[in-house]
Structure 1
Amino acid sequence: MDLSAELSEFLRSRRARLKPGDVGLPEFGRHRRVPGLRREELAQLAGVSVAYYTRLEQGNGRNVSMEVLDAIARALRLSDTERAHLTHLAKPTAKKKHRSAIVRPQQVRPGLQHLLDSMEGVPAFLGGRRLDVLAWNRMARALLGDFSAMEPGERNVARMVFLGDHARDLYVDWECKATEVVSVLRLYAGRCPDDPALLALVGELSVRSEEFRSLWAAHTVADKGHGTKRLRHPLVGGMTLSYESLRVAGADPDLVLVTYHAEPGSPSADALRLLAQWGVDEPVDVRE
């Protein structure tokens, strides 16, 4: 992945979303030739020369200081996640050791699988790089899809959201879910631009999904976090569930535990308990 091009497009997209009035600048004239702020307006807000900012927006961030990046981030009103993404693009620090490590398949310790299986009433799975689903419990399978019936390469949230029919029916706010998925992939791409599996995934989704291409071009970034999801499950109907994404301590920084739960005493909690009866007598899956 070309980091210079990514840096250029990211800065352009963030500048385009701001209007002069958003940052206290006057708007002169009815028509502006560019959406959002002009380069000279952004440079003025950041306290750098127009020529310096122009070079950066053209993808030349080799000698940019952290002080300048912070000033530009403030001028663009970037979130903490966006600020970190900008830093990764402008001042990549990936080492050869890390680049070789991302090629190796991620492994799930038996203890983590035992933890998942012990969470009997809580849908939970372990997510890896590129939104791969590495391990799951019975409740996650009942709620989100039959991971055990998929080929290992298909156990990926992005593929499920954009290439499968089940996700479009399951997520009431599918467009919101799709935007979140692309935003997380974008953030990972900034940290690991040389990941060949990521490049292959983005290429496949870009070819097969017009919606993915459009969202990818928007350059939104987001980290895995927490929130709520409205689901329309084929067995138990509508549910509103909260989710939490927790990073697993250890040598692999890209391993995340994702759990879902309902508000106690709510209809969603009743639906989740009903779903827990699905396949209760089935044997535990054997992970590949």
Structure 2
Amino acid sequence: MSATAPVSDLAHFLRSRRAGLAPEVVGLPRTGSRRLYGLRRAEVAALAGISPEYYTRLEQGRQRRPSPEVLDALATAMRLDEDSRRHLHHLAAGGAHQANDRAPVDPPTVPKATLRLLRSLSVWPAHVVTPMRDILAWNDAAAWLHVDFASLPTRYRNFAWFAFCDPRAPDLFADWHAVAHSNVNRLRHALAADPHNERGRQLVAELASQSSQFKAMWDKHDVRGPHTGSKTFLHPQAGPLQLDYTAYVIPGRHALELVVLTTDENSPTYAALTTAASQRRDRVIAHPQWD
């Protein structure tokens, strides 16, 4: 099966969560004879209230339709957070559908109201991104902070691709590993919700062939949905910039996100952003997606 096949992913996810869960976390003793760091299959099955044989079939991909009750029991037994619990349900649901059952989906477009909002944000970097991390629209502040997205081929306007395949990324992000891992986790989340997304499947395949670091992170099978957080950028002109980001989901079938980066208005980062914004006032940059 391919790396993104739903049944294979369900089995892989269960194995990876079990292997990473120490016995002490669930109240089990660690005996001297134990060679594994994580739990045994029988231990997970007992914690979830299912038979070891049934759980083994799940991990081997031979049991394709676990009930929601079984999935919730496994999520509780494995101490999954809310993102991982939803991911487990998405993986199980994805295995019940075939690619040819899905209706054609029109390419995503950014609502005009969102584009107007982007234009109005002169200081705060902001962009619109798809679940597969494709960058659809951005303001001048985002181009100044990250990279001139308009200079990139359309297929490479993608945050996961930028993180792993653009040589500028490790120099831009103070914690490149955390940023890269976050993009992998978001791709996992998106493909579980839309397992037959051709763009996502191709992107994962290309990144795995281009970057051994991506493949290693992908194989960990971590997952996370939209969230808030902080990043430190090492800007080539402005130096270190500490920014908080929030992803706002735009209503619609494509689950686009408007991501806005802000900071305290008394901080050096804000001073750098306002200085950069004032220097851009006489510039006119054409954004193809706004034409």
The question of a shared fold, defined as TM-score above 0.5 by the shorter chain, is answered with: yes
* Matching of residues 83-122 of structure 1 within 5 Å: 83-92=85-94, 99-102=102-105, 104-122=106-124
Q: Does 1:26 align with 2:29?
A: yes
Aligned to 1:258: 259
Q: Which deviations, in whole Å up to 9, do the C-alpha atoms of 1:238-261 show, x marking residues without a partner?
A: 111000000012x33421000001
Partner of 1:235: 237
1:171: which partner in 2?
173
Classify the secondary structure of the residue corresponding to 2:117.
Answer: helix
Question: CA offsets, 1:41-88, max 9 Å, x none?
Answer: 111111111011111111234332111111110010001110111011
TM-score, with structure 2 as normaliser: 0.93
Where 2:234 maps in the other structure, the secondary structure is strand
The partner residue of 1:3 within 3, 6, 12 is 6
Q: Once the two structures are superposed, what CA deviation does each residue of 1:223-277 show, in whole Å capped at 9, x if it has no partner?
A: 121110011101111111000000012x334210000011120111112112223
Partner of 1:269: 270
Q: Residues 1-288 of structure 1 correspond to what in structure 2 (within 5 A)?
A: 1-32=4-35, 34-92=36-94, 99-102=102-105, 104-249=106-251, 251-288=252-289
Question: How many pairs align?
Answer: 285
TM-score (norm 1): 0.94
Q: Helix, strand or coil for the counterpart of 1:232?
A: strand
- Distance (whole Å) between structure 2 residues aligned to residue 83 and residue 203 of structure 1: 25
Deviation at 1:97, TM superposition (A): 9.1
CA distance, structure 1, for counterparts of residue 170 and residue 43 of structure 2? 41
Q: 1:78 to 1:69 in 2, by over 3 A?
A: same
Confirm or deny: 8 A CA contact 1:94 1:191 kept in the other structure. Answer: no
**Residue 187 (structure 1) shift:** 0.7
Q: Deviations over 1:3-54 (max 9, x none)?
A: 111111100000011111111011222441x330000011111111101111
The farther-off stretch of 176-185 and 160-169 is 160-169
Q: Distance in 2 between matches of 1:221 and 1:278?
A: 39
Partner amino acid, structure 2, of 1:126: V
Is the contact between residue 2 and residue 193 of structure 1 (CA under 8 Å) also seen in structure 2? yes
- SS of the equivalent of 1:239 reads strand
Q: How far 1:278 sits from its partner (Å)? A: 4.0
What is the RMSD of the two structures over their aligned residues, measured on CA atoms?
Answer: 1.8
1:151/1:268 CA distance change after superposition, 3 Å: same
In structure 1, what is the Cα distance between the partners aligned to 2:97 and 2:26? Answer: 34
**Secondary structure of 2:21's aligned partner:** coil
**Percent same amino acid at aligned positions?**
38
Which consecutive unaligned segments of at least 5 residues does structure 2 have? none
Structure 1 residues 205, 278: closer, same or farther in 2, change over 3 A? farther
Contact preservation (8 Å) 2:7, 2:64: no
Higher mean C-alpha deviation, range 233-242 or range 58-67: 58-67
CA contact (8 A) 1:8 1:58 kept: yes
CA distance in 2 between counterparts of 1:158 and 1:138 reads: 21
Alignment deviations for residues 89-115 of structure 1 (CA, whole Å, 9 cap, x no partner): 11226687984444x321123322111
Deviates more, 1:115-124 or 1:52-61: 52-61
